[in-house]
Amino acid sequence: MTARRAPAKAAERPLPGGMPRIVQALAAHFQRLPGVGERTSQRFAMHMATGDAAYAKGLAVILDALHDKIVPCPRCNGLAECVEGEAPPHLCGVCRDSKRDDGLLCVVAHQADLMVVEKTGAMRGRYFVLGRLVSPLDGVGIEELPVDGLLRAISRATGGVEVLLALPVTVEGEATAMAIQRELASVPGVRVTAIARGVPHGGELEFADAVTLTRAITGRAEVKQP
């Protein structure tokens, strides 16, 4: 019986049309990006190869300096930039903002979540980025999360602190939220809250799942007169 050949990896799989190897390699790198499939990666690579050379070279310069210029913010664990001529610590834009409410700390899973929340303009407090979530199935516990950094962020505030958990509505997000609540239970002056979860704006009740609708009912708020 003839043995089956193992499927070719993305970097080894030949692309159609006799694409040059360097363009094929570039497409394979693009395909490793989140949400980028084979066809999209090919379009990106061909655009870089046939488009404006100055654009491609400029992108190469940025990518070459990216990990030299970007460092973790020592206060929130988000992304900060090393500004030339500026002595450390290198703080992110939010941590530099003196007008922020130090009594409100929003905990998010990733930098992308911070950017989404910040874009709303509704959060005028500080942030803390966990970088990962508790995942029982993968053997990731609370000890793998930067809890010490979170406690330091809480300690910078004077008086009481509200820790707002803005975590994904997933098994990992729920496990992380419960683990953080346990860690903060004995910290004086800390009140733990979570973002409201329920029926989205413009959503029809008939299309809402049972978990979402249950949370919307249990988390109901009083209707105030205008």
Is residue 108 located within the same domain as residue 193? yes
Confidence of residue 11 (pLDDT cuts 50, 70, 90): very low
Tell me the residue type at 9: K
Looking at the fold, whether 133 and 184 belong to one and the same domain comes out as yes
62 and 102, same domain (yes or no): no
pLDDT at 17: 59
Separation CA 170–CA 188 (nearest Å): 29
Q: Could you report the per-residue pLDDT of 88-139, keeping only the tens digit for each? A: 889 999 999 999 999 999 999 999 999 999 999 999 999 999 999 999 888 8
168 has pLDDT over 80:
yes
Q: Residues 43, 75: one domain?
A: no
Asked whether residue 42 is assigned to any structural domain, the reply reads yes
Range of the domain at 47: 21-70
Q: How confident is the model at residue 5 (pLDDT cuts 50, 70, 90)?
A: low
pLDDT band at 1 (very low <50, low <70, confident <90, very high): very low
pLDDT tens profile 37-73: 999 999 999 999 999 999 999 999 999 999 999 999 9
- Alpha-helical segments (H) within the chain: 21-31, 38-50, 53-69, 93-96, 111-120, 147-155, 171-184, 210-218
Q: Which pLDDT does position 109 carry in this prediction?
A: 96
In a domain, 6, yes or no: no
Do 104 and 187 belong to one domain? Answer: yes
Q: Are residues 102 and 185 in the same domain?
A: yes
